[in-house]
Every structure is written in C-alpha cells, then in structure tokens.
Chain A
Amino acid sequence: MNKREAEGCARKNADAAQDRDLSANPSSPIVASFKVFQQELDTKHDKYERLVKISRDVTIESKRTIFLLHRVTNVQDPEEVVNEADVKLDAVRQKIGLIAEELRGEDIYQFHRAFTPGIQEYVEAVSFQHYIRHRSLISLEEINARLVFMKAEKEEPKGADLPMGAQVLTFQVTPADYLLGVADLTGELMRMCISSVGNGDIDTPFKLSQFLRQIHDGFSYIGNTGPYEVSKKLHTLRQSLGKVEDACYTLRVRGSEIPKHMLADVFSSRNTLIDTEEGVV
C-alpha cells in the first residue's frame, strides 16, 4: 500500500511527495506526539495479548478439569477424583493470579473481553466440582473468596508500605461472568445426568433435574435484564432441562417395568440419540 501510494503521488504531484518526506522528520511536533501514541497503543495491545494467552490456558485447564469430573459417575471412589480436580483447579487459580497481576492498577473492564472466556470456563469448572461435592450452587462470594493471591515482592518500593512486604491481589469475577458460567454448568449437569443413568444410577437424575429446574427458574427470573449472551444461553438451558426431564420421565415410567440391570441398555440407546442431537446444536 505504501509503495503504490507513493507512486501515485510521484505521478500526480511530486511536491506533495517531497513534503511527505520532509514531514516525516522526527523533529516535527506531530510526529513526535504520534511516537508517544505508538508506545501507548503498543503497551496496551501487548497487555491485551498476554491476557488472551493466559485466558486460553485457563480455558483449557478448566475444560480438562470438567472432563476429569465427569469420571466420577463410573469410578469406585468419587472423592479421589474430586480431590484430583482440586489440584487442577489450584493450578488454574495460579493462572488467574497472573491475570490479576496484569490488571493491577488497571481498569479491569478495559481488558475484560480478553479474559472473559477463561473466567467463564473456570466458573463452570469450579461450580461443577462444588455441585458434585456439596450438591448445591456455589455462590459468587465463594468463588471470589478463593481468588485472593498473596504476592511477596521485595523489589517493589510500594511493598514497603505494607506489613511484611506482601501484597494482596484479588480477582473479582463479575456477576455477568458468573451467570454465564453457571449457564454453561447446566450443560455439564445434563451430561452427568445421562451418563449416570447409563451406569444404572437411579437417584442422581432426579436430584439433578430438581437442581436444574431451580437454576432454570433463576434464569427465567432474570430474563432479559441480563447481558445479551444470557438470553442465548437460556435457550440451550431449556434444551438441557428438557433432556433431563425426559430422562426422569422414562425412568419413572419404565423403571417399574424393566429390571434394573437392563435399564442401562435402554439408556445407552437413548444416549446416542442425544449425542447426535447435540452435534446439530
């Protein structure tokens, strides 16, 4: 583009081209001030990119934790899996600590778009683990309470003001991110429900359907006051709820007729049906 434009100038107006060369000299006040802008923009973009990178790592690790947690339905000792997830989530929290560090002294909303996918995925993972352990919904405060990081810093002169030279960094999950993370959680719960039926677990689906219904009611209560993405997720949430309710229905109706050891067969065929449906959505 540069070259073509320069050629155009040469053909049309040699003087202007000459002017441009002259004006490119660094002593011009305009050029000098644009050098400052260049630096400012580059710093900002670099920070943004770093945040995107951390966010991507957070997403990947959170997804892996969720996959790990899905194994609780078919292992002997669920507690072991949950504890393993704890270790993984600690690593994720370390990464979020890096985000918090990048954001120190910044307006977190300026870079919010860079890390929101990662945070949503983390909310999904941590709330899924919480549900498996406590059968309840993790609150926003509980999530935020675990995102406090201690940073021992010696080279920072500001640290001297604080006792022991330690700095406390916090990361606050915004309510909107929390909400979107919880909406994703429902999809995981649906999968858990179906797979637990596949394993012949009759109780879990009913508990899950009740829990999902509560969440669904909550989202209906929020309706369209929330961010725009929420209404999109509400649709998927309805589908998940429908699947779980269908599963419970089938259990209730067929449960009395089919011997328990055969239920697994009924649902394994059902499972494939649901999986193909998901592929379309």
Chain B
Amino acid sequence: MSVTEMFTYIQGFLSADQDVREDIRKVVQVLEQTAREILTVLQSVHQPSGFKEIPSKCTKARELFCTVRTHIADLKTKFPVEQYYRFHEHWRFVLQRLAFLAAFVVYLETETLVTREEVAKILDIQVVREKGFHLDVEDYLAGVLIMASELSRLAVNSVTAGDYTRPLRISNFINELDSGFRLLNLKNDPLRKRYDGLKYDVKKIEEVVYDLSIRGLAKEGEAGGDK
C-alpha cells in the first residue's frame, strides 16, 4: 500500500468518525433542551408557592422524561453500541444533568435516594455496559452530587417559605449521602472535584438546622426533637 493510499484510507475513517460525532451532537443538543425544560419546571419548588405544588411539578417533570426517552432512543441509533466510551464525552454532561433531574424528582416524591437502576429505568437505558447504552457509575454519582447542592438551596428556601421541618429531613439525608461518598476511593478526577464541594453543601444545611434549633423552630422535627 502506498503512502497516499494509506492516508486516503485514514482520511476516510476520520471523516466517517466526524459524521457520527456530528449526528450525536445534534441529538444531544435536543436532549439538553429538554433537560433545561425539566429543570425549569423543578426550579419552581424554590418559590414559596411552589412547596404545595411539589407533587404536580413532579408529575409534569415525569411527563417530560417521556420526551427524554425518545431522544435517548434516537441517540442510541447514532453509533455502534460497543463504542459507547468512544463518544462518551459528547453526552456525559447531559446524562449527568438528567441523572440529577431524575434523582431530584425521586427525592421530592419520596425523600429517598434514587438508585442507579431507577435512574436507568426513568431514562430507559441500561445499568450494565454489556446490555447496551448504559449509565456509567461516575455519571450517576455526579448527578447525585448536583442534587446535593440543589437540596442545600432547597433547605434555605423552605425555611423562607415557612416549612421548618424539611431542612432537618434534608440534613439527615445529606449526611447519609456524605457518609456514603466517604466510602469511595476517588481518583483525582472531575468526580472527586465535585465531591469536594459536597462538604460545603453539608455545612450550609447544618447552619440552617442550627439556626432553626437555636430559635426553637424545629421542635416537631424527627431529627432535632430529642433535646
């Protein structure tokens, strides 16, 4: 094979690769759009009036997840399934966002941590790599960490809205999350960086709980009730 032939061959490969990336980018853009819509719906829980409407907001968000599922189904067709990690960085960000949104919805509904399986089910993807388009464990964890900072905000705003028990529940939840993350041996990677921010969320929520308990506003709460 001559040098020119070889380079023509490689060039063909590279442009095919670029085409695939272009396709993926388009779908991911739409996906990001939907993710923003869901976020907008959920943001209203921070409004004083939004606290009563949490269930209805969650239903609305769940409806929007249907659109997400169709887009992800579309995304799956754009590349060979065994090359997931080759194009991973294209959808990594949006998948983390979606994991966060799913976790947030589930938290608002049941006040529990969403499992990786549940997120995968909400997004209609797989948990294990062998079965197809899946949710990488690091992306799931990143999504959970985004939710933690959202919850620290929610704790502050729920006090403003006059809900004094919610911060205590959030505090319990975040502390449990924190001890969960402490079990992980993280490398010096983006996930680790994000995890380093968790302690500030913990701190913020603890300050809220402190403010409430020192003023005797948290008496009926399950967490601070025993003093």
Interfacial residues, chain A to chain B (CB-CB below 8 A): 1-2, 5, 8-9, 12-13, 15-16, 19-20, 23-24, 28-31, 33-35, 37-38, 40-42, 45, 105, 107, 109-110, 112, 136-137, 139-141, 175-176, 178-179, 211, 214-215, 217-219, 221-222, 225-226
Contacts and interface: CB of A to CB of B under 8 A. Distances in A.
B4 A109 contact: no
Contacts, number: 134
Interface of A is mostly: helix
B130 to A, nearest CB: 8
A94 to B, nearest CB: 26
A139 B213 contact: no
B7 A222 contact: yes
Contacts of B162: none
Interface in B65-100: 82-86, 88
Instruction: Tell me which of B13, B84, B141, B223 has the highest count of chain A C-beta atoms within 10 A of its own C-beta.
Output: B13
10 contacts: A16-B223, A30-B176, A31-B183, A35-B183, A45-B185, A109-B83, A109-B85, A109-B88, A141-B1, A222-B7
Interface residues of B, number: 56
A183 to B, nearest CB: 12
B11 A225 contact: yes
A222 B14 contact: yes
B10 interface: yes
Contacts of B206: 9, 12-13, 16
B185 A19 contact: no
Given A42-B185, A137-B2, A176-B14, 6 more contacts: A13-B209, A31-B180, A37-B141, A38-B184, A41-B186, A137-B6
A79 B186 CA distance: 51
A19 B186 CA distance: 24
B176 A107 contact: no
B158 interface: no
B69 to A, nearest CB: 23
B34 to A, nearest CB: 26
Given A34-B181, A41-B138, A15 B224 contact: yes
B194 interface: no
Nearest to B180: A34
Contact of A23 (B9, B10, B175): B175
A278 to B, nearest CB: 25
B3 A31 contact: no
B9 A140 contact: yes
Interface string B121-138: 000000001100000011
